[in-house]
Amino acid sequence: MNGKVILMTGATSGIGQVAAESLASMGAQILQIARDPARGQAALTRLQTQQPKAAHAIYYADLSLMREVKRVAAEIALAHPHIDVLMNNAGAMFGTRSVTDEGLERTFALNHMSYFVLTACLRDLLIGSAPARIINTASDAHQMGRIDFADLQSETAYRGNFFETLRYGGPAFKVYAISKLCNVLFTRELARQLAGTGVTANCLHPGFVATRFGAQTGGLISFGIRIAKRFALSPEEGAKTLIYLASSPGVAAVTGKYFHNCQPLQPSKAAQDDSAARQLWETSAKLAGTES
């Protein structure tokens, strides 16, 4: 990875942090987008210790706000004309419904729209950097997701009902599952659109990993996840597929796939629906104002 430039989100914690540090130790230059200056600075210091020769850099943005995603993408594009790998990895699950001042439900905004908008803003730069790779962190939770295009902002989904609570363990997980289905569908359509450009797009499930994920969700869900984490993978184990997709020559030409344990895996039936993938793309582009 000597001399490779990797742009990552969600690298201040969990699997992203481990992946960033491992890839830096292989010689890569890591550019991060973080939201919190103290956590961002700590992450940068760790990387500089790991690989002092590379000019690692950090940029700040709240990725649940699309104007922030666009601003930071423009700053990065100006400073770094070449990017080998874009890793969309930041994500969270929110216990109660909240809407950003841009009118987007927060889970959908952070987990899907930030991936969509950051990629759209850097698309030409990545094509100009080809061969390049885009990696989206999805989840096995996508298996439970069903997209209702009439309720993309989850007004109904967050209300839930008794049976849904039994099925999903609560509306927060249902909304999270939908956002992760969006990651797989987005990757599918992105790979289709980028065919022949030398830029690949793949997504992954890292496994159930003991990270800070779920800590901010609140209530019983945070409690349940805290207990379940005793049986979860370590962040080092969870980061393996991310690192593999960013660095392995074996996947240089592989695109449009969903990976787990460094192997391609069939995603759910809903995640293989090409017309849903196209509809999600068109709707996201309208919401983001990135239609061409």
Ligand X SMILES: NC(=O)c1ccc[n+]([C@@H]2O[C@H](COP(=O)([O-])OP(=O)(O)OC[C@H]3O[C@@H](n4cnc5c(N)ncnc54)[C@H](OP(=O)(O)O)[C@@H]3O)[C@@H](O)[C@H]2O)c1
Q: Name residues contacting ligand X, limited to 195-234 (CB under 6 A).
A: 205-206, 208-209, 211-213
For the question of residue 244 being annotated catalytic, the response is no
Which residues, including other chains, have CB under 8 Å from residue 150's CB and lie 6 or more apart? none
Instruction: Name the residue type at position 155.
Output: E
- Which residue sits closest to ligand X, CB atoms considered? 14
β-bridge pairing 199-205 and 29-34: unpaired
Asked if 172 touches ligand X (CB under 6 A), the answer is no
In the list 19, 21, 35, 126, the residue contacting ligand X (rule: CB under 6 A) is: 35
| Cα separation, 25 vs 13, whole angstroms | 17
| Cα separation, 70 vs 66, whole angstroms | 6
In the list 10, 95, 170, 267, the residue contacting ligand X (rule: CB under 6 A) is: 10
| Cα separation, 158 vs 202, whole angstroms | 29
Q: Which member of 115, 158, 168, 176 is catalytic?
A: 176
Q: Name residues contacting ligand X, limited to 106-125 (CB under 6 A).
A: 110
Asked if 36 touches ligand X (CB under 6 A), the answer is yes
Asked if 245 touches ligand X (CB under 6 A), the answer is no
- CB nearer to ligand X: give 129 or 174: 174
In the list 13, 29, 129, 154, the residue contacting ligand X (rule: CB under 6 A) is: 13
Buried-state track 89-128, b at ≥16 Cβ within 10 A, e below 16: bbbbbbbebeebeeebbbbbbbbbbbbbbbbbbbbebbee
Number of residues near ligand X (by CB under 6 A): 28
The catalytic residues are 176
